[in-house]
Chain A
Amino acid sequence: MLNYAARRIGLSLLIVVLAVSLLFGMIHMIPGDPASVLLGPRATPELRAELNQRMGLDQPVMVQLGRFLLNALRGDLGEDVFSNRPVTTIVLEQLPYTVILVLLAIGCAALIGIPLGCYSAIRRNSWLDRVTAVMSVSFIAVPSFIIALYALLILSVKLRWFPAMGAGETGNLPDQLRHLVLPTFALGLGWVGYISRLVRSSMLEVIEEQHVRTARAFGLPEWVVIRDYALRIAILPTVTVIGLGIGMTLSSALFTEIVFSRPGIGKLLHESVMTRNYPVVMGTVLITTIFFVVATLLSDLVNAWLDPRLRSESR
């Protein structure tokens, strides 16, 4: 197991470096550079050279990349081209918004999805099971930004029940929660469908298994059987799948942040690419990729721990 874990971690590190390097290269090939944008026509060639030099933008791409990675190891992600603030600070300022949104969305979805899935498994083919099945598929299928747009249109613009933008006042928790309702809803709806289906199918498998039947035979109440035997096992695939789904949620989170004008990593990424704010782009990409790779890594590790066969799968 340890062997496998070490290999996976090494691989993950490699992937992070590769991904970041690839994007670094691509960003630098995009026309337009911060010096021109920043200084405009007042920029004499000397001023621009000075800015480029100050930012380290005049070095060959490989050198910039190398310096970036080296500095990143020390936690220094450079400085924002326009405001000179450390990128690490900027990213860490925005990260909590996205993390909260994603966790809340998945959390709420789990709270609703798990019981739904359980119930569907137990009361197979009841009308609730059928309805849940259809709704689950539907929620998964529809892109979350559409849900976000409709929620915005109906619940915010037309009915005025919820605020349409922003994260709410800092320090004012009820206000912030109000601002989280619609984005969480948009992001989490697909997850509800997903989780309930997953729980349902794993529960169906487990429910018929030997030890569950034995527990029943012993006369334990049904709900205890479900909770302590069936659910406990059925939950596990759900957990690993959540790890894999984090990446997908990140993309959806970008759209949600844009539709609702919420601060967050997605919006930051988007804006910094548009303004060629290279340091912020790289810092955000690095952190996002790490986030994603770690999630995948964790779920792979958990999976491998559960199912030893998988450990030799990667040759």
Chain B
Amino acid sequence: MNPGFHPTRRDFLRTVTAAGIGVATVGYTGPTWAADGDILHIRNYNSVATLDPARMISGAEGLIGNALYMSLVRFPSDGGWGWQPDAAEHFEQLDGTHYAFRLRKGQQFNNDLGEMTAEDVKYSLERVIRSDKNFPNSGDLGTLSHVEVEDRYSGVIVLKSPYAALITVGLCQSTGSIHSKTAMEAVDDEFGIHPPSCSGPYQLKSWQSKRLTVLERNPAWTGDPQGFREIHIYPINDPKPAELAYEAGELDCTQIAVESVEVFEKRPTPNSTLDVRKALRYYWIGMNMEHPKLADIRVRQAIQWGIDVEAVLKAAWFGLAEPATGIIAPGLIGHREKANIPPKGNPDRARRLLAEAGVKTPFRLRLDCPTDTLEQTVALVAQWCLRDIGFEIDVRPQDSATFLTMGMESGDRWQDVQLFVQSFFMLGDPYYATQWFIEEQVGLWNWERWRSKEFDRRHHVALGLTDESERDRHYQRMQQIMEDTGCYRFLTHGLEPTLYRDNLIPSFRGDGYPIFRDFKRV
């Protein structure tokens, strides 16, 4: 999945990458207090372009996928980061490269496609890594080699080499979901919107591009009763219209913008609960160390020490978010308790460093950021902090398409990149964060253009380890290496504030995103 895309709030200029531009057309179906107890009206942060897990680019599609398809295992419904059995009644890691599973008996696909068997599991997982298809998400399954079928319901997943994120990133996400081999072969393995088979509690009823996706109960579902007869999912990028729709009674649950948290707290909407969860995303200010102006590490360190992260958080996140110590959020393996540089920074030290570097002040630098209000606010506060230190910062907001490709060598602007405000999407395994900063990524997503053999080595090693505390040490050290380069000022992991009706029992993943299939009415 593309790390650059933003699943959180954006202002109207913001158009999220790839799959879909949510035109805020909400097809209101009437107030929810009418006889709509059976229908869940919920917002998704992006529109759906495909429901094929191998092709999904947007996490928003994955959220729907989790309601349509079962995987062997799934995220727990309590917001933690472990996993619990889903289609498999038994799932066990045998060794670094072998995972055994046994399916529950009697699980059915819809459309009369019959019972789910180990053959279906084999087919579903192996298709994602088919070399002739070149699916974008094949990387999620890491080093998968093949799946061995032992009998009708059991098998073993075989990897070429250890891959620690198989469960979190590969299986629990939609990429590892199980489809009917018969149905998929009949469409030659290609489908866009309409899934040939659904094994989950819901199936797709209808889809209108950028307007509405409707899920209905899957009649073949044999698990716990579904919470709703139908789920109406509205793709709304910008949380502002979504908030308004919620207030008008047309939505039962939606994420809201950070700045709206205080609005809702001051004037609470009746019969609603505001749940502010910490997100997993990581925001930082990056510096291109290959740019001549930033070549001197003391200049970079001056910037690190000069930016007051607490002020940034107060301005952009209304003081609601916590400072980050790196790229790995609390709750995940590898989270650092403390960073080298305290959140407040130290202006005096910053000035000394700059003076040592012997550059002429005011030292002019360019700071690029996306046009979103949040990032622009971050940029402006950084600009103001650094002005005090002796920098003259030129803030340049760029629209998302231009910004996303700025640091890539495929274009011609990467050499001019100096400072930038960046944030990446995150999943539940730390490797998903460190993978963007290895040497291979210079010219792709490593816009800071630094290289560290130690970092790369640890990244590859940690990916294959199973011992959590060992992995933890590696990832902590990796973040320290990042900070030591002077190219990073870590900001925060952000927030996922969600508003929902009191008569709902919602369910969230560890990163604050909703698990549609587990929503129930009180």
Direct contact of A and B (CB under 8 A): yes
Given contacts A31-B405, A82-B18, A164-B244, contact A170 B23 (CB under 8 A): no
Q: With the chains together, A57 CA to B445 CA distance in Å? A: 23
Question: Does A251 reach chain B (CB closer than 8 Å)?
Answer: no
Q: List A residues 134-177 near B (Cβ within 8 Å).
A: 163-170, 172, 175
Q: A36-B404, A165-B245, A261-B12 are in contact. Are A41 and B26 (CB under 8 A)?
A: no
The answer to whether the Cβ of B361 comes within 8 Å of any Cβ in the partner chain is no
Contact A36:B400 (CB < 8 A) given known A166-B245, A170-B27: no
Residues of the B chain whose Cβ atoms lie less than 8 Å from the Cβ of A275: 15, 17, 21, 400-401
- Asked if A311 CB lies within 8 Å of chain B CBs, one says no
Assuming the contacts A47-B134, A83-B49, asked whether A40 and B4 have C-beta atoms less than 8 A apart, the reply is: yes
* Cβ–Cβ contact B17 & A37, under 8 A: yes
Q: Indicate which residue in B21, B23, B238, B248 contacts A163 across the interface (CB closer than 8 Å).
A: B248
Are A32's CB and B411's CB within 8 A?
Answer: yes
Interface set, chain B 351-409, CB cutoff 8 A to A: 399-402, 404-406, 408
| B402 nearest in chain A by CB position | A32
Residues of A within 8 A of B2 (CB): 39-42
Check: A274 CB closer than 8 A to any chain B CB.
yes
- Stretch of A15-23, A61-69, A119-127, A263-271 that contacts chain B: A263-271
Residues of A47-92 whose CB lies within 8 A of B = 47-48, 50, 82-85, 90
**Are A33's CB and B25's CB within 8 A?**
no
* Nearest Cβ on chain B to A161's Cβ, whole angstroms: 12
Asked if B49 and A166 sit within 8 Å, CB to CB, the answer is no
Complex Cα distance, B240 from A176, in Å, reads 20
Are B3 and A41 touching (Cβ within 8 A)? yes
- Point out the residue from B23, B28, B413 that lies within 8 Å of A268, measured CB to CB: B23
Residue A285, interface by CB 8 Å: no
The 8 closest A-B pairs by CB, nearest first: A40-B2, A261-B24, A169-B28, A165-B241, A32-B401, A32-B402, A36-B405, A32-B405
Q: A4 to B133: give the CA distance in the assembly, Å.
A: 58
Confirm or deny: A276 has a beta carbon within 8 angstroms of a beta carbon on chain B.
Answer: yes
B26 touches A166 (CB 8 A): yes
Chain B residues, Cβ within 8 Å of A90: 209
Chain A residues in 8 Å Cβ range of B345 = none
User: Given A82-B49, A83-B20, A271-B15, does the pair A41, B436 have CB atoms closer than 8 Å?
Assistant: yes
**Is A38 close to B, CB under 8 A?**
yes
In the complex where A261-B238, A275-B15 touch, is A32 in contact with B404 (Cβ < 8 A)? Answer: yes
Which residues of B lie under 8 Å from residue A261 when comparing CB positions?
12, 24, 238, 240-241
A82-106 residues at the B interface, CB under 8 angstroms: 82-85, 90, 94
Q: How far is the CA of A274 from the CA of B404 in the complex (A)?
A: 11
- Tell whether, in the assembled complex, residue A31 and residue B411 are in contact, meaning their CB atoms are under 8 Å apart: yes
Q: Which residue of A lies closest to B137 (CB)?
A: A42
Q: Which size bracket describes the interface of A in this complex? A: 35 or more
A167 touches B25 (CB 8 A): yes
A258: CB under 8 A from chain B? yes
Chain A CB within 10 Å, residue with most, of B12, B28, B401, B411: B401
Given contacts A42-B139, A166-B24, whether A37 and B49 have CB atoms under 8 Å apart is no
Closest to A156 in B: B244
List chain B residues, Cβ under 8 A from A30. Answer: 402
Name the residue on B nearest A45 (C-beta). B410
Asked if B297 lies at the interface with its beta carbon under 8 angstroms from chain A, I say: no
What residues of A have a CB within 8 angstroms of the CB of B240 in the complex?
165, 261
CA distance A261 to B22 in the complex (A): 11
Q: For window 396-430 of chain B, which residues contact chain A by CB distance below 8 Å?
A: 399-402, 404-406, 408, 410-413
Taken together as a complex, chains A and B put the C-alpha atoms of A168 and B408 apart, in Å, by 41
Closest chain-B Cβ to A42's Cβ sits at a distance in Å of 5
Q: How far is the CB of A46 from chain B (nearest CB, A)?
A: 8
Q: Is B13 close to A, CB under 8 A?
A: yes
Complex partner residue of A83 from B1, B26, B209, B399, CB under 8 angstroms: B209
Whether A39 contacts B136 in the complex (CB less than 8 A), given A85-B209, A261-B238, comes out as yes
Query: What are 5 sample pairs from A and B whose C-beta atoms fall under 8 A apart?
Result: A41-B445, A85-B209, A163-B244, A274-B400, A274-B401
